[in-house]
Structure 1
Amino acid sequence: MSNLSTQLFRAYNRVGLVTQIVIGLVAGCLLALLWPQAAQSVSLLGDLFVAGLKAVAPILVFVLVTSSLANHKRGQPTHIRPILLLYALGTVTAAAVAVIASFVFPTSLTLVSQASDVVPPEGVGAVLKTLLFSIVDNPVRALLQGNFIGILAWAIGLGFAFRHARESTRDLIADVSDGVTLIVKVVIRFAPLGIFGLVAGTLAESGFGALAGYFQLLLVLVGSMLFMALVVNPLIVFWQIRRNPYPLVLTCLRESGITAFFTRSSAANIPVNMQLCERLGLHKDTYSVSIPLGATINMGGAAITITVLTLAAVNTLGIVVDIPTAILLSLLAAICACGASGVAGGSLLLIPLACSLFGISNDLAMQVVAVGFIIGVVQDSAETALNSSTDALFTAASCIAHGDVAVERGEGAQH
């Protein structure tokens, strides 16, 4: 019996991590359908996995960025600026795709429920102010609350400062970074169990019956996100690397998008994305900064959510939207989406900002937010999957285009 269990364990370990995650996904679905009570119990596994990722992500970003900058070799470019341009292009394009989809498939809402205990920001200025204050946040509080803008600011500052430290000090920082990275690898190895618990718990507790009345709205939302992931993003990547983009696109969707879909947290997926970038052979100096930064400002999925739900409210109220206003909405949604992570409640609480562009009252806008919370089990999952997988995709595309890879494996690292 012992030999059999050992053989099964070895056979399981020979299977790739992504395959193990898919097995966990299928097993979670079956358990939720056949034994709902047990499925609710195993949801603890999913909660522990997400908590573990969220626990290691802030300290990982802090020590990795500090170590990368402190031990950065002179003359080695990082190409952060091109990646930031891709983030901006992707977010604005996502908002434009959502506008077109909303025009082609106009959606109406039944505005009957109220969203309570949530306070939207008063304007774009409030969003930008939140971002600015996040930069100068107390470093201990930034680590405790997962404020990655503040963590990056302190890590970059200390990284540059330690470049003038003794070599032994820089080696110690590098050793600490390697130690935290090892812990992250251990946490990620539990992803199959975590996904199993998340899927089983979600299906058993909420199901999808309540979403039937919002089928068309979800179709426009998820359809826009799929169009971005499978059509627009590959075009952007092809523009960068001048080769077939789909192996790289599908690798990022499979190895980053799946876990992001079920954890529903860009912050929790930062360790997953960093592991993916390491397997792709990208330089640590680049992805250690671009990945946590992308989790904060690269919000194509959030831009789609804001735009689609706002235009659904506009269509419900019979307001006519002209092309210049639609373009303005795209830009506003893109700017607001970049600040989504700095606002309690995420992208949904930025909908009143976009609705104010059309003179929609705050009371009505908050009813739209309530609809967003109802469909959140699908909307938030798909949004996070698009956001997080695009962080890794654009980082890899820019690095490959500029030759910023430790080993020229490119999209061939999908195994």
Structure 2
Amino acid sequence: MPHSTNRLIRIYFKIGLIPQIILGLILGIALAAISKDLALDMSFIGSLFINALKSVAPILVLILVIASISNHQHGKRANMGELLALYFSGMMLAALLATVASFIFPSVISLGDAADQSKLTPPGSIIEVLKTLFNKMIDNPVNALVNANYIGLIIWGVGIGIALRHSSETTKTMMNDLSLAISFIVRIIIRFAPLGVFGLVASTLAETGFGELLKYAHLLVVLVSCMLIVALIVNPLLAYIIMRKNPYPLVLTSLKDSAIPAFFTRSSAANIPVNIEICKRLKMDEDTYSVAVPLGAAINMSGAAITITILTLATVNSLHIEVDIFSAVLLCIVTSVCACGASGIAGGSLLLIPVACSMFGIPNEISAKVIGIGIAIGVIQDSIETALNSSSDVVFIGAVSEKVQRNKAK
């Protein structure tokens, strides 16, 4: 019997995280259909997973920001100005599109007891949002960590990262190693996502009924639709503005050769060698792509901008918080900045949802529940998000390289 059990465990870990999450999802739905009482008892499993996410997210944000800024390389600016403008424009337009889609097709999610128990005071105007934002920016760093004040953590991370850019290489290496260590802990927590999804789905469906599946499906359709529009319309338009020629041959090549591998690896960082090979095969400017591919894998995250925006606005809608046009625009800016800091691991963008949620006074308990919901739909969402992020790198680098080579030919 032990040998048989060990074999089952080995098979379980061998099939990969995505099938495991699908299995957890199916078992959670089945348990809710078979026994409502038992499904409700499984809520503690989902709570453990959510609490683990809550514990690691603040320190992850702080360390990632410090490490990424302190390890930024001086020099090597090969056409980086235009590329950075393309990266940020792409993320900003993606966030704007996600905001418009959320207003036209509003999503609602069940937040359970977390929403009932929180003492939530919705902001009344853009002035209140800005006041909250500025107060969070100047928070004590220890207090920011304890209370999961992500805005404050980002400000302190940027400040410490800039200061450490002039430190010794050993200090920078230490920060990078610390970033890798925190990311390793996140990976361990994410490995328990199938159990977390099982507990969350079982207890949620038992409590709210199977109509919740329709809410998840609606949320997923809005997310995926926005990502497809960015990939097939927004990115080609930005590329055309730079290269002044039909961008679709480049776009389709990037979708075929870059998006498909990224869809299955679910990691922009893991797709770096693939993108470098594509750029080399298409004879792009080497000085540009040698720097831009790793940079794009770290900060060009249109898919993450869409995910963070839509899930934040779904939370806002669920809590009946009014959002005016100025707050929506500010959300797009904050989301674009957050997307730049999204971790390169699978599901990394979800851990930055609390940053956007904090703009509206939404506590960490609720935003952590939203992360769990994001992981439940991440079987599809995260794969398409990564495919968009990675293929966007090739499109934008190709557009800038085309312009560079055209200027050299003159």
The TM-score with structure 1 as length reference comes to 0.60
Matching of residues 161-200 of structure 1 within 5 Å: none
Deviations 1:145-182 (A, max 9, x none): 669xxxxxxxxxxxxxxxxxxxxxxxxxxxxxxxxxxx
**Alpha-carbon distance in structure 2 between the residues aligned to 1:120 and 1:230:** 40
Q: Which residue of 1 aligns with 2:108?
A: 108
Match of 1:219 among 218, 221, 224: 221
Residue 128 to residue 288, structure 1, CA distance change in 2 (3 Å):
farther
SS in 1 for 2:283: coil
SS in 2 for 1:402: helix
SS in 2 for 1:357: helix
CA RMSD, Structure 1 to Structure 2 (Å): 3.8
1:123 is displaced (CA, Å) by 2.3
Q: Which residue of 2 aligns with 1:81?
A: 81
Residue 37 to residue 245, structure 1, CA distance change in 2 (3 Å):
farther
Q: How many residues align?
A: 286
Match of 2:172 among 114, 122, 138: 138
Q: Which residue of 2 aligns with 1:324?
A: 326
Residue 405 to residue 376, structure 1, CA distance change in 2 (3 Å):
farther
**Alpha-carbon distance in structure 2 between the residues aligned to 1:371 and 1:270:** 29
Contact 1:79 1:398 in 2 (8 A): yes
Residue type of the partner of 1:249?
V
1:42 is displaced (CA, Å) by 6.6
SS in 1 for 2:343: helix
Match of 1:123 among 126, 144, 150: 150
1:346 is displaced (CA, Å) by 2.0
Q: Which residue of 1 aligns with 2:99?
A: 99
Q: Which residue of 1 aligns with 2:260?
A: 258
**Alpha-carbon distance in structure 2 between the residues aligned to 1:338 and 1:88:** 8
**Alpha-carbon distance in structure 2 between the residues aligned to 1:345 and 1:261:** 12
Q: Which residue of 2 aligns with 1:365?
A: 367
Contact 1:113 1:370 in 2 (8 A): no
SS in 1 for 2:405: coil
Q: Which residue of 1 aligns with 2:305?
A: 303
Q: Which residue of 2 aligns with 1:154?
A: none
1:212 is displaced (CA, Å) by 4.6
Residue type of the partner of 1:139?
T
Contact 2:227 2:385 in 1 (8 A): yes
Structure 2 residue runs of 5 or longer lacking an equivalent are 1-7, 20-71, 115-144, 182-193, 203-211
Residue type of the partner of 1:94?
A
Contact 1:283 1:406 in 2 (8 A): no
Q: Which residue of 1 aligns with 2:249?
A: 247
**Alpha-carbon distance in structure 2 between the residues aligned to 1:352 and 1:281:** 41
Same amino acid, percent of matched pairs? 47
Match of 2:403 among 394, 401, 404: 401
